Amino acid sequence: MTDDKILLIGSGRLAKHFIFYFQHLGVSFSTWSRHDGPDLLKEKIKNANFVGLAVSDASIGELFEQYLKNSNVKAFHFSGAFHHPEILSFHPLMTFSDELYDLEFYKKIHFAVSDSSAFKKIFPLLSNPYFTLSNEDKGLYHAWAVLLGAGTQNHLKSGLQAFAKIGVPESATLVYLEKIFQQFINHKGQSITGPWVRNDQSTIEKNLNALSLPDQNLYKNLMERTSK
Ligand SMILES: NC(=O)c1ccc[n+]([C@@H]2O[C@H](COP(=O)([O-])OP(=O)(O)OC[C@H]3O[C@@H](n4cnc5c(N)ncnc54)[C@H](OP(=O)(O)O)[C@@H]3O)[C@@H](O)[C@H]2O)c1
């Protein structure tokens, strides 16, 4: 028997980050992952009030139906895309890879929540900002979260590789990107420079001729957005 009230299921990337964060905040919780076996899971569920499903989206519903649906616990998950009417949703708008962050950084992470009073009740020790997200807006919300996160990373990686091929030092690209991100944070895209904002057609033509497909289409698409 334990006196833990929160049970966190899963041991993947997100779980590792939140185990670290909760431990440092003094949140009382217990954990379970697949290798612990189903008997221990059933026992831990009996001792919990709240169960966090920090597992792959495809397994959230299945685990809920199998172990939690007919129990007395309230379940929550961390997905920005998955929806189940009986499971609370607390999506941290952040990327979690294998590298942990500083404790102070975790406190800045915003949560998109389906129920703000439940979020406060389950996590009274978390001072993280949160906003309510309706199920209707979740599809668009998560699509843009993916574009901003994985999409931006892939875009930057392509640029870094294209520059490297023609001998631009990585350090030069990184200083350039650092300033671009800082400018974006300061001015939210109102400080864009270059041929698109100068309407310099001859340079735009040269840029387009230098690119091949599909980068040429990407260039055109982004340019059209800039002029709007
Ligand atoms: N990583 C991010 O950047 C991020 C950001 C925001 C939200 N999220 C959300 O967080 C959740 C977890 O994502 P993640 O990135 O941590 O994924 P992950 O690194 O792939 O880890 C998934 C975890 O789920 C476990 N799992 C999968 N199916 C299971 C089952 N049937 N029974 C028991 N355990 C099972 C895996 O166990 P095994 O190790 O045994 O396979 C693993 O521990 C997802 O809902 C995701 O949308 C992730």
Our answer on whether the CB atom of 113 is closer than 6 Å to any ligand 1 atom is no
pLDDT of residue 191: 87
C-alpha of residue 129 to centroid of ligand 1, in Å: 23
Closest atom, ligand 1, to C-alpha of 58: 28
Which pLDDT band, with edges at 50, 70 and 90, does 49 fall under?
very high
For residue 2, pLDDT over 60 is answered with no
Determine the length of the chain. 228
Domains in the chain, start-ordered, CATH in brackets?
A: 6-133 (3.40.50.720), 192-228 (no CATH)
- Atom in ligand 1 nearest the alpha carbon of residue 94: 5
Our answer on whether the CB atom of 12 is closer than 6 Å to any ligand 1 atom is yes
* Residue in the block written with tokens 């007919």: 70
Q: How far, in Å, CA of 18 to CA of 8, rounded?
A: 9
Average pLDDT over residues 36-61: 97
Neighbours of 122 (CB within 10 A): 19
The Cα–Cα gap between 17 and 92 comes to: 11
Q: What pLDDT is stored for residue 80 in this prediction?
A: 97
Find the angle CA(41)-CA(22)-CA(39) to the nearest 5 degrees.
5
Type of residue at 81: A
Cα–Cα distance, 226 to 134 (Å, whole number): 30
Whether the predicted pLDDT of 29 surpasses 80: yes
What are the CA-CA distances from residue 221 to residues 26, 201, 218 (Å)? 48, 15, 5
The C-alpha atoms of residue 197 and residue 174 are separated, in whole angstroms, by 23
* pTM: predicted TM-score of the whole model, two decimal places: 0.93
